Amino acid sequence: MELPDVQSTIPDVRINLTRVGVKNVKKLVEVSRPGKRPVIFISNFDVYVDLPGSLKGANLSRNFEVIDEVLQEAINGQVTEIEELCSVVARKLLDHHEYADRTEVQMRSEFMVRRDTPVSRTKCHEVVKVHARAIAMRTGHQPIIRKSIGAEVTGMTACPCAQDIVKDHAVRVMENLGIEAEKITAFFEEVPMATHNQRGRGFLCIETDDDQHVSLEAIIDVLKNSMSAQIYELLKRGDENYVVMQAHRNPRFVEDCVREMARRVVGEFGSLPGDSLVLIRQTNEESIHQHDAYAERKATLAELIAELNGD
């Protein structure tokens, strides 16, 4: 006896739905890398299709089938980037949902990055949050696919404003002690002044056409080098001194971090098509306030290049 297909019936209220699907599908993803060990991602997937007003429901079991099929391809070495994995899933969802004109796949992952501390070269690990996304839109020919890859990295920032206030006070104290101006200048060239610090969370995501490649490692490097200093899970005394001194020699507001990311994005990814979409966010958890500081920029790569060139 054939069971009725209730999802294919006509709904009582016939309106189109923008996104129907499943959220928080947990999967372990293994992505191969040429000449390197595979990267393991602990991932959550959100998978959506659009639904016409003529159908009561979407066949959600097909979403799970597609994810498992593509993950098996990744394990077999056929998928080498997580945004490519999302792209393949989005494309195959169109094949499995013949009524859908648009599919979307979001992937949130964590993976471990091995690092060496700056002075003692002590080995430690860092958890990096990774975001990938793909949207497939049906056309009369091949579907149009846009994919994105991004990461969130934690670092340290030092406040320039408070540092100038402390420095001004130190200069007056040293002058009252009779210390010569040349020695005061020489001192500040060697020892940066104290200021309050923040733990910063930088986020960078780049969206491109399906045929473009954006290096996740390069994104992480841009984020790490756009704050006052990098931070580490484990620090020896020499490492701790290095990190604190570096941060205070390189004070940055939350706005400075976003602008520095934009500058580095253009330098690193300037060869991408101009319509590549760049999203930059920085959140600083204040140490002397009860609020957080935040800055953001969203623009095409062409817009960022034009602004940095003074156009």
Residues 206 and 216: their CA atoms lie apart, in Å, by: 10
Phi, psi of 250 (to 5 degrees): -135, 55
What's the length of the chain?
Answer: 311
Q: What does the H/E/C string look like for 237-279?
A: HHHHHHHHHHHHHCCCCHHHHHHHHHHHHHHHHCCCCCCCEEE
The CA-CA-CA angle for residues 191, 195, 199, to 5°, reads 115
Residues 153 and 221: their CA atoms lie apart, in Å, by: 9
Q: Which stretches of the chain drop beneath a pLDDT of 50?
A: none
Report pLDDT for 5.
Answer: 61
Amino acid symbol at 18: T
Give CA separation, 5 vs 49, 98, 189, in Å.
19, 16, 76
Report pLDDT for 223.
Answer: 97
Q: Is the distance from CB of 135 to CB of 102 less than 8 angstroms? A: yes
Report pLDDT for 78.
Answer: 65
Those residues with Cβ within 8 angstroms of residue 260's Cβ, 6 or more apart along the chain or in another chain? 225, 226, 252
Alpha helices in 76-111 (DSSP H): 82-96
Give CA separation, 186 vs 176, 178, 192, 247, in Å.
17, 15, 11, 19
In DSSP terms, which residues pair with 129 in a beta bridge?
A: 110, 152
Q: Is the distance from CB of 151 to CB of 216 less than 8 angstroms? A: yes
Residues 199 and 152: their CA atoms lie apart, in Å, by: 13
Q: Is the dihedral of CA 222, 223, 228, 232 positive or negative?
A: negative
Taking phi first (over 0 means left), then psi (-120 to 50 degrees means alpha), and beta for anything else, what does residue 299 get?
A: beta
**Minimal CA–CA distance to 160: which of 192, 201, 199?**
192
The model's pTM = 0.87
Kindly list the structural domains of the chain, giving each domain's residue range(s) and its CATH number in brackets, ordered by start. 17-159+196-309 (3.10.270.10)
Q: Where are the beta strands (DSSP E) in the chain?
A: 17-33, 36-51, 102-116, 123-137, 144-158, 197-209, 229-230, 277-286, 292-300
